[in-house]
Structure 1
Amino acid sequence: MNWGVIATWQMAHDGVVTASEMLKDGATAGDAVERLIQTVENCPDYQSVGYGGLPNEAGVLEMDAAFMDGNTFKIGGVAGIQDVTNPISVARKLSDEQFNSFRVGAGATKYASLAGFAKQNMLTKKAHDDWAERVKEVAANNLSPYDGHDTVGAVTLDTAGQMTVGTSTSGLFMKKPGRVGDSPLSGSGFYVDSEIGGASATGLGEDLMKGCLSYEIVRLMSTGLTPQAACDQAVYDFADKLAQRYGKCGAMSLIAMNKNGEWGVATNVEFTFSVANDHQGERVYLANPGPEHNTVITPMN
């Protein structure tokens, strides 16, 4: 039976290795995607997700995450959650709720506490020091404070044919308190339908939300396009349209996988990702925008 996993950024590779081993052994897509994202959330070296993530303008680490089940369309999400070890796990549990399945701010944090999720100060000394240095640089040089928005997003397919998608991020470094990007928003940051496939996004959330590109990629796959063709069409057509109408277009990179484990990627910036399926072992690739609305993909390992 087919199985597969794809995730944004090289930082997700260890998680992809773990998830692929799980999927080979018959684990569910939901368990695999949760474990993959936890691996990134738990590592303080990655300053755009989970523990060690960079804080907002006020020096507070606010995290966003989402989980979607492609069989049932169940969705759970959190935004602006604080001091919780694994936001992806909270999002997954919320997907079982018929009501109140997307919680924000203090409500999300309280829910996690009452549900028994581990609490932890997620702001490391390094992340705090980087924030303090950035505050000084912005004040001294009149710089734009914003930098860094590398969401981990992943799509998984298990041997039973179920697909899931998950996302997790600490969002834009130096964002205004309460700011939420595309990552926990269905259709923008993620979407999955086990009968078709799934997609996930990373980049500048404010621009990704304008296009609902994750849903658009899944829709295009439903018409018979390969994941790669769907990604190329959705990303480059919208990037052109946004630049024309809005005057500019921020970074946007999307990954996709269909129900057969075939995958695709499109990006308007240099972008790394990790992927594995029953036909190929775990591998990291580099993607760049090509000259003719196509994506140039080369292996990195």
Structure 2
Amino acid sequence: MTATRRGFLKLSLLSSIASAFAASSKTAFARAEKINKPVVISTWEHGLAANKAAWDVLKKNGRALDAVEQGVRVPEADPLVRTVGLGGYPDSEGNVTLDACIMDENMNCGSVAYLQDILHPISVARKVMEETPHVMLVGAGAKKFALEQGFAQQNLLTEQSKQDWLAWRHSGQQKKQINIENHDTIGMLALDTSGNLSGACTTSGAAFKLPGRVGDSPIIGAGLYVDNEVGAATATGMGELMMKTVGCHLVVELMRQGASPQEACQKAVERIATRLDNFAEFQVGFLALNKAGEYGAYCIQPGFNYAVKDSRGEQLIDGKNLLGEGA
């Protein structure tokens, strides 16, 4: 992308942001005639199977927190999902390291980062939330805590991921960038029959990343945020960009100001585009759900999709984007 095109795009975005949402301060759920609940949404195609597990909880009038935990445990345990949990791509030294966070309707939250040898980091994150005074545990401390809580230790590097790592190492290539070919997260948001929201986010991070690298997925406000008065948001893609903009908190605050989930996600992506010159080199996708059960998503590049399940059925939806077709 040329400097001239970047400048023109930034000018256009700033103009649209300045003129948008000048009217009502009412939230979308206050305007809604009927609340769509329960509902669960999650990132990427592997969210379809995750949503089914979450729906098993929601359809029995279960709590949104239980639904999102059970939902994301599905891809965590699936070795064919190469960017989450078991079988996730390792770092540049061949170690699978996992990040996850969870947040409930009462602003309770828990998180783990750089966790190794534990299959379900999302459940460890919930234990951090419920059994400790802390929000986040990392590395060896997180693993020690997980073992003390009864989690089993196991090797998460599958033979397929090991061979891919060896091939990458022998090729002499640089580490993969987090773009449309290297997405790295499942984020899930749910609204239960009681009208309460919760969210979860879990990942094995960027393929062949530098040892010790942690992205946005375990960071409350960056990769996940829940405000039970307004809505919830999660993110996927280049975690550093979400961390620089505290992107999911931004999405929720935009919904508080009256934006729909779709509008809020778009404005958050536009914020990244107006602040960061190299945004077009990466993928970022936001997914949001409000208290009315309305949802939306927006991303930088084409290629991001999200799964939805509610009383009307299930579907996989292509997220609208900033730079590609249909932008």
**TM-score, scaled to structure 1:** 0.90
Alpha-carbon distance in 2 for matches of 1:237, 1:95:
31
Task: Quote the Cα distance in structure 2 between the aligned partners of 1:187 and 1:37.
Answer: 19
Cα contact 2:261–2:290 (8 A) shared by 1 = yes
Shift of 1:287: 2.1
**In 1: Cα distance, 2:326 partner to 2:196 partner:** 28
Contact 1:267 1:295 in 2 (8 A): no
Equivalent in 248, 271, 288 of residue 256 of structure 1: 288
Q: Distance in 1 between matches of 2:183 and 2:289?
A: 22
The 1-side partners of 2:193 and 2:133 are apart by 30
Code of the residue aligned with 1:145 in structure 2: it is K
TM-score (norm 2): 0.84
| Structure 1 residue 146 corresponds to structure 2 residue 181 | no
Distance 1:92 1:247, change over 3 A: closer
SS at match of 2:319: strand
1:195 partner letter? E
What is the correspondence of 1:60-209 to structure 2 with a 5 Å cutoff?
A: 60-69=95-104, 71-97=105-131, 99-137=133-171, 139=172, 143-147=173-177, 148-209=182-243
Select the residue among 304, 308, 311 that pairs with 1:275: 308
| SS in structure 2 at match of 1:54 | coil
Q: Structure 1 regions of 5+ residues with no counterpart? A: 297-301
> 2: CA distance between counterparts of 1:241 and 1:295?
23
Give 1:190 deviation, angstroms.
0.5
Equivalent position of 1:56 in the other structure = 91
Q: CA RMSD in A?
A: 1.8
Q: Which amino acid aligns with 2:310?
A: N
Distance of 1:154 and 1:238 partners within structure 2: 22
Between the aligned partners of 2:191 and 2:152, the Cα distance in structure 1 is: 28
C-alpha contact (below 8 Å) 1:207/1:249 kept by paired residues = no
Q: Which has the larger radius of gyration?
A: 2
User: Which residue does 2:19 correspond to in 1?
Assistant: none
CA distance in 2, matches of 1:238, 1:261: 26
1:133–1:221 CA distance, 2 compared to 1 (3 A): same
More strand per residue: 1 or 2?
A: 1
Q: Map Cα deviations across residues 46-74 of structure 1 (whole Å, 9 max, x no partner).
A: 110000001001001110000011x2211
Instruction: Please name the residue that 2:63 is paired with.
Output: 28
Match of 2:25 in 1: none
Contact 1:78 1:103 in 2 (8 A): yes
Tell me, yes or no, if structure 1 residue 6 matches structure 2 residue 38.
no
Count of residue correspondences: 287
> Does the 8 Å contact 1:51/1:122 carry over to 2?
yes
Aligned to 1:299: none
Offset at residue 241 of structure 1 (A): 2.2
